[in-house]
Structure 1
């Protein structure tokens, strides 16, 4: 249950935090409607596999004490992200589209490239996601899979929901709803980061 809650909370934070991929999702939704936005929202399912595998293999080879240190550092990093997101939420505006209008296949390919070159997924999986995954796998593989499943369910689902809102309202997306969603995700990130930090400091580890 803990792994599921962490996966859902971290997924929401990653899903609605402003960034290159979120901008592409909104751009596609404004131009082509809900279906175009959904294609971009699903990009992490295509691009994150090598990131996750490399990060988990690297972290899985570390001694337990370094894994705990990594957990504390990752927890503090998530707290920082949560606080920054809360600060941004007070004045944030939904990203707006650029000037070019690429084809659907080109949009998806650009999203994959953008996500692979984006340092944030790498940082997240090395510092936060992999320590949780490795620790959960040690207790029971099902726990680790629940964490990953919950994370990507909400990561992709939040972007799909935003694509639906943008596609339905197109250029009339309100800033208030976007700020409320950002604020909620920031609060969740801060709480999850605090939990990760405490768990890393406990004698039993993660």
Structure 2
């Protein structure tokens, strides 16, 4: 039981840190909540529950060691997609206009952003899978505590941000809305740059 509690607390800590870390998925959760309402922001927050299952299974059973070049390529494709999302966000002039003309597709967007990010792969290769394997040697329940704690806080923290955004959405609409959306678009451009730079670094390191 002690190992289970320890693993759960470790998962909670790592999940909270990852969930509150600024990045494209967090920005997208805020953006979709602003544009389409709380439900869409929550769908973005839930994206890791969709993407991480195949990622973890692939890493655990097939791709124990992803090459740096592949991770770098994923990161650069993710950067391009983040730029596309930034363009979409910058075009938003009013809530009603976007809601009526554009299908939210929030879960799809969240899945693409997370799947094309190198961070889930790097986390599970360097931290997640080694910890799960180590915890499993001490207790059969410990890995499940780690996974449950991690995703509870990873998804829950982003959902919490979406809830706060939804609660104060009325304060951010009207005349302030275009400026808020352009600010979020700039944030996405910054994250796209960081993803692209990280991708170049991963590719260059793997070539040496």
Normalising by structure 2, we get a TM-score of 0.60
CA distance 1:49–1:98, shift in 2 (3 Å): farther
Offset, 1:171: 6.6
CA contact (8 A) 2:41 2:106 kept: no
Return 2-11 or 27-36, whichever deviates more: 27-36
CA contact (8 A) 1:30 1:171 kept: no
Q: Find the structure with the greater CA-based Rg.
A: 2
Are positions 1:103 and 2:103 aligned together?
yes
2:49 to 45, 62, 69: 45
Partner of 1:103, secondary structure, is coil
Q: Distance in 1 between matches of 2:141 and 2:50?
A: 22
Give the corresponding residue for 1:162. Answer: 161
1:83 paired residue number: none
Shift of 1:59: 8.8
Distance in structure 2 (CA, Å) of the matches to 1:114 and 1:38: 15
- TM-score between the two structures when normalised by the length of structure 1: 0.61
Structure 1: runs of 5 or more not aligned:
62-96, 174-206
Q: Which residue pairs with 2:119 in the alignment?
A: 120
The answer to whether the Cα contact below 8 Å between 1:59 and 1:131 also exists between their aligned partners in 2 is no
Aligned in 2, Cα 1:137/1:59: closer, same or farther, shift over 3 Å?
farther
How many matched pairs?
137
- The change in CA–CA distance for 1:10 and 1:59 in structure 2 (over 3 A counts) is farther
**Aligned partners of 1:40 and 1:108 also within 8 Å:** yes
Per-residue deviation, 1:165 = 0.1
Say whether 1:142 aligns with 2:141: yes
**Contact 1:33-1:168 at 8 Å conserved across structures:** no
Residues in 1 aligned to 2:157 and 2:129: alpha-carbon distance in whole angstroms: 22
CA contact (8 A) 1:3 1:147 kept: yes
Alignment equivalent of 1:25, drawn from 17, 24, 29: 29
Q: Which runs of 5+ in 2 are unaligned?
A: 66-88, 93-97, 173-208
Residue equivalent to 2:82: none
What's the secondary structure of 1:141's corresponding residue?
A: coil
Match of 2:7 in 1: 3
